[in-house]
A and B are shown apart, each in its own frame.
Chain A
Amino acid sequence: MTIEPGGDPANRWGMVVDIQKCVGCNTCTVACKHSNLTPPRVQWRSVRDFEIGEYPNVERIFMPVGCMHCSEPPCMDVCPTTATRQREDGLVFQRYDLCIGCMYCHLACPYQARFLVADAVGYFEGRQSSVEEVHYQGQRLGVSTKCTFCVEKVDEAKGTDLVPGIDGAVTPACVLSCIGQALHFGDFNDPDSNISAMERDKASTRMHEELGTKPNLVYVWHQPRDADGAPVPEPANRPAMKPIPAKRQNNWDLRAVGNFSLGGTSSGLLTLLGLIVIAGGGPALPSLEMTLAGVPLVFDLYHLGAALMGLGLFSVFLEINRQARFLNVFMGYRTSWMSREAIVAMLFMGVAALKLFAATPALELLTTAGELSLIASLLGAGFLYCQARILQVAKGVPAWRPPVMTWMLVFSGLFEGLGLLVVALWVGGFTFPPDLAAAAPVAGLVLAAVNGVLWLNYMKHCAEAVPVETMRVLSRHSSVIQIAGRGVPLMLFAVVLSLPVGSAPGLLALAGLVAMLGGWYWKAVVVWRACHFQNFHLKSVPLRGSGVMAAPPHVTH
């Protein structure tokens, strides 16, 4: 948590949206754009237009959405740079000067409230008008932006008797502009505030509360009552709100997949190397020595891992929008698995560098080659785990959220690492150490099975928890992932196992290659294709519409 001093901890600013009053005019949308000078298509506040039910039983909803300034903001904890911060009064804000534009927060937000514009594109079919040029917000290019609750206005209330939400001068622009009296701002900590009273007196719901975000935006509507004042019950045959078509995230693409693939494979390899070292097989692992400027350097499989990991990290470096600031990625180590992954990677790179000098007497004074290998493997395992956590905590993408995601990435990394190991040995023309030659197909069989079972478990979970659009993609790729990615290597490992130990290194390498590619394949599918944003959804909505959706008879005033 990056809690920033600022604001009065006694306050908890929030909004109440009366969706029965909203007419979808989007005055709030454009008032926000005026106040905050946001570029084309960036709508910190917007109103979405949804339908529930099927003709002739239909309800239509205009739903204002935006940053919910969650009390438990998932975007903040994932931020690798601490650019996303929360004040003591709950406001969640973005430090543009720290942000590297990695867009992790976009994927962590279940409310699609984050925006990033990479290039200065104007409103007039790309051209900027003169006033756009004069007032362009260059500091926001390439960084993540979101609703600020017009904090600069809210803060002007300090030391005055002005009340945010009541007095226009200290009320967010969208709320103030609303022509339907649908948007309200105030303090949820004050039970007598305007918004607390509205939440109490009306029917209400908060979006995606089950994700633990504690959103500070509440949807309310008039509660119809009968002549005795009792709430009119919802008709039993009323269809619930169907999921709204979800759009695929386009923040992370193949460049991110590159890191998950190369980083997962390399750290899987490093972890396995650690197990081999522990099992006493370290000395049997191949290495190459060469002399550079008189200094003897040792290259071994750790350096292969380092190279691949570095390549993966470079791949994801290409994904971020503010590359010059990439060093900020380490700042979020307290909460962000991305920071941790980067830190562990740097530490590993350091150890791997030291290992180059394994043949130098000076190093031997410090440590043994075996100790260094173990440290490197430990860091590799750490990298694997950190990376495996990255997707699972991104609450904005339902397909990434299942807890099994972490273990899928860990075991896939190990499987890919095994694959890399046997491929590297075969390609390098090294003789397989006999123990490894015996253990590898067994490990391959086990890891193929474990990965297969995890995938089944994942798919079962997804069937209930992800948007249909995601499920469609997953279903399309699932058999390829399972058959080609697990089944084929499983069979090949089994064939190798049935042959005399070490007699089929080529076949073993083939099994490893397929395992590795299979791991990359499913990651590409899940990170890049089956990755639709959490869709907007309310558990209950006003009773209105046609047919069975129509409001039941109630007392009018």
Chain B
Amino acid sequence: MAPDGDTSGGGARQSGATSDSNYDNRGKGGGGKKKVPVYCYQCVAGPDLLTVEVDDDGYATKVESNYAAADVHPAGGRVCVKAYGLIQKTYNPDRIKQPMKRTNPEKGQDVDPGWEPIGWDEALDMIAERLKKITDSGDLCDDSGFPKLAWISGGGGTPVAYQGGWTAFLAAWAEVDQSYGAGQGIKCTHSEHLYGELWHRAFTVVQDTPLTRYVISCGSNVDAAGGVQGVWRGAAARGRGMRRIFLEPHMGISATTSDEWVPIRPKTDAAFLLALINVILHEHDWRAVCDIPHLRDRTASPYLVGPNGFYLRHPNSEKPLCWDSEAGRAVEFDAKDHGAFALDGTFTVGPLEVRTQAGTVAANPIEIGGDGETWTYDTVTVPTSFQMLLDHSGKHTPEWAAEICDVPVDTIRRIGAEFLDNACVGETTEVEGRTMPLRPVAVVLGKTVNNGWGGYECCWARTILVTLVGALEVPGGMLGTAVRLNRPATTRAASVNRGADGFMTQPHNSTSKRDWQRKPATRSAHTTLSPLVGDGPWAPALGPSHFPWMFQKKSPDNWPRMSVPEIFFVFRTNPAISSWDRKGVTERLTEFPFMVCFAYTHDETNWMADLLLPEATDLESTQMYRIGGAKYQEVYWQHNGWALRQPAAAPKTTGVDVKDMTEIATQLALRAGLLSEYNDAINKGALSISLAKKTGEGQKSNAENYDYSLPLDRACSVDEIFDAVAKAGTHVLSDGEEVHGLDYFKSHGYYVQPISKLEWYLHPAIEDAQIRYEMPYQERIKRIGVELGNRLHEEGIEWWDDKLHEYVPLPDWSDNIPGVWENDPAEYGKDPKDYPFWLLTTRSMQYSWGANVQIPLIREAAENVETHKGVVINASKAAELGIADGDEVTVESAVGETTGRAVVRQGIRPDTLLMVGQMDHWKTPFAKNLHVPSLNSVIPMSMRLTDSTGSSADIVRVTIRPAK
């Protein structure tokens, strides 16, 4: 099963492209062009490695993949199209060339800020003064309990790879609100993040591309958004004949490259997936086609469910009970000696034998609900979880689903049968000496399918599908990539611990009467409203991150007054463009008393700023960053390591007075009197690695014993800081054998050590810890819903009630899934019938996460993909409406309109319109003249559209007409 193409992959042998010096060392060896190795993290699938060619005069002229890394990088060392925009990014004549302060206190889209150029000292002092005012007040939080300092960055976490020492500054400050959304929640695969981590430590979910044979993809646009690894591995899989069925209302990039595109009606994927479950369980002999041992031993399928919907439990141990079909009695799920557990059926459970010191006594089984509510039964007749699934899925026939999804009945049946044909139930394969099941099938979901209403149903249904055949977390099957909610984040397996019910533990925000966070700690209220999101570093922005904007306009009933932060920092994001309801967000942006934007060019957000700081950009600044492992989309390295981003373009060539983010952070820490806290944060691991560890005295050189820490009382240089990071990083990786400082990275670019391929799969950890996947029945979620409802009602909060209905143990179809959007115009006093089209958006390889709309080269590449040019409309529908390709059209929703050119295509449903990326700029140079419409201009932001996880979907009902 060697993927073809791996041996012939476009010039596979590397050419040793890195040189041994950057521009600083140039000339010492006789001049000539130098290649400077750096990394690119312009999308969540990075970092990838590249080299920058620098000419004799210090101009960066050319980007190339760092082919020297071909052996260790999972996509042959390649970087994607976005990296090639970095030269123009560096030399863009529209850059902000020095710090600037606003002189006009009035803010607004049509108001000239009166920018006045100032020096860096003045700019930094302005900020430090405000910071000191806060520290002098003695309280980092305001009267509402929210931090006075807020920080927003976009791009799915990618800014961290460019913010250098800022991470340490934020850690040193301690109370920072990072819950302002720039589009996350609605622009990400939000439901998958939460449920994926719960069920299989999968912040994102992909197929095991190198081995898989059959993939059902509901809109997972991996060939545009899966990074170079996603494209590289997917292409190899197609080359060997992997079959992918792609369901999507329009023929996007990955639908194009699939074997079959099924134009499904928007937001009805849940019905399709439920029907596939029905096909497997009710139209095939499930005992013959499913992975029975897996269901019985590795899932909660045999757990008995009580009349109130909670597991039937042992009265003493409170462990869930299963039915021992040989002994004909209920026993604890982890009982030592028992016969085969019944998978299906309904059983009458009477008093259980309980061994006590006094001998064996009879005790009645119990059921424990929310807030400890307990029911005790003498005898009770209960089904297994699996039986409940069987009963639940009976009504989801292909005929039923076809009506909802507009997918032919035969297609649903055929896909179900093909899925089973390819599942290879019973087969095994060996990975690094460990025998594991081989199940080369997967079901993956894209955004919009995977967030907002319907996201839970889709995530559950697809996880059921692969669970039925045992394809979860095994070779060829469906895998997670990374953990972001669980800790530690080092590997997925590291957070696998067995909980009392036999499932993995999960760090939920408590919904208990005692521990529930009544008063929100951040403006997104993630710990209060979103139990599943936890409270890790990523959690605030994964809560309902649109609430800070929404509540700033009007707080809901029985909720703290939404105060604005005294200082608002904005880095590498443009929420005035990238957020849903971007126009509303733009209005809110005028309300901050002191907004500091790190600014590359003017844009729609920093137009409202009080201070613009032009930071050193990608090819001008220094940072050490982790590479390798498994994370995000399809990032599956067989190495872990570190890479350096370093200045490539000589400062004299760029004509801008910029500062490195780390230098800015250090200077602010110094001026605000936080230097020792700042240095301490770095020492303690704020920059991804602790600079000192002391365990085992006397052992001089091992991974847990080193000290490269910075002095606390001195402002260190950028190079000093990252030299220490480099040494600590290589020390830990090499177990102290190979310690390299910054100089090594300046010439080599990166350093890696191999890791086991077994780390790709969670299955070994699950098996070793004798854990069961929490499938199919969601007792825990049901309990959380009951308790959260109790807590909110105690506080008089009823505006979250509709979300509570999502906490069900067996998700079902609801007409409300598409209906909430279909009927939404009525909320604004409009007639839903006047908005007959679904408007969708999709990711773009050229633009997504890149913050690169100002770069003409990227636009040139993007325009080769026709769908970038405007609003995509079905050809027959366009003809019906008298719209021709290239015509100026207006797309209008109940809350706004956007204008651009029509792109008339065959590959889109007649009831659907599509706008790629996030455009409609009015200030950003170059981009503002592109005249490309944006979904963000017409999509409302509302409580009604928000689901229980705190997200919504990138979809809105609209109408289209020729522009006047």
Contact = CB atoms under 8 A, between A and B. Distances in A.
Interface in A173-210: 173, 175-185, 194, 198
A58 B906 contact: yes
Contacts of B224: 23, 25
A55 B907 contact: yes
A140 B85 CA distance: 23
Contacts of B253: 23-24
A250 B701 CA distance: 71
A131 B905 contact: no
B78 interface: yes
B239 A222 contact: yes
B15 A131 contact: no
B93 interface: yes
Given A124-B92, A125-B929, A166 B239 contact: no
B906 A166 contact: no
A123 interface: yes
Of B84, B256, B926, most A-chain CB atoms within 10 Å: B256
A62 B81 CA distance: 15
A130 B59 contact: yes
Nearest to B655: A130
Contacts of A58: 251, 261, 906-907
Contact of A175 (B10, B236, B255, B906): B10
B937 to A, nearest CB: 23
B5 A49 contact: no
Nearest to B48: A179
Interface residues of B, number: 96
Contacts of A55: 263, 874-876, 906-910
A26 B251 contact: no
Interface string A24-64: 11110111011101001101001111010111101011100
B91 A198 contact: no
B452 to A, nearest CB: 26
Contact of B846 (A26, A43, A56, A184): A26
Nearest to B12: A166
Contacts of A551: 243, 259-260
Contact of A181 (B5, B214, B653): B5
Interface string B234-262: 11101111110000000101111111111
Contacts of B1: 557
Contact of A25 (B85, B231, B260): B231
B264 to A, nearest CB: 11
A556 interface: yes
A37 B84 CA distance: 12
A35 B62 CA distance: 7
A27 B8 contact: no
Given A23-B224, A557-B240, A62 B256 contact: yes
Given A26-B81, A31-B84, A194 B93 contact: no
A46 B62 contact: no
A125 B240 contact: no
A23 B261 contact: no
B228 interface: yes
Contacts of A51: 251, 905-907
A310 interface: no
Contacts of A26: 81, 845-846, 861-862, 864-865
A201 to B, nearest CB: 9
B865 A178 contact: no
A553 B11 contact: no
A495 interface: no
Contacts of B80: 25, 27, 179
B188 to A, nearest CB: 21
B5 A167 contact: no
B2 to A, nearest CB: 10
A553 B94 CA distance: 53
Contact of A182 (B79, B92, B235, B654): B235
Interface string B507-549: 0000000000000000000000000000000000000000000
A40 B856 contact: yes
Given A26-B862, A179-B80, 15 more contacts: A23-B231, A26-B864, A34-B87, A40-B860, A47-B864, A125-B856, A130-B93, A134-B55, A168-B17, A180-B235, A198-B8, A222-B241, A546-B262, A551-B243, A555-B241
Interface of B: 1, 5-6, 8-17, 55, 57, 59-65, 67, 70, 75-76, 78-81, 84-85, 87-88, 90-94, 213-214, 223-224, 228, 231-232, 234-236, 238-243, 251, 253-263, 418, 422, 653-655, 845-846, 856-858, 860-862, 864-867, 874-876, 905-910, 925-926, 929
24 contacts: A21-B235, A23-B223, A25-B846, A26-B845, A29-B81, A29-B861, A47-B864, A55-B906, A55-B908, A58-B906, A124-B856, A124-B926, A125-B856, A132-B91, A134-B59, A135-B61, A166-B12, A167-B13, A179-B228, A222-B241, A544-B260, A546-B261, A546-B263, A551-B260
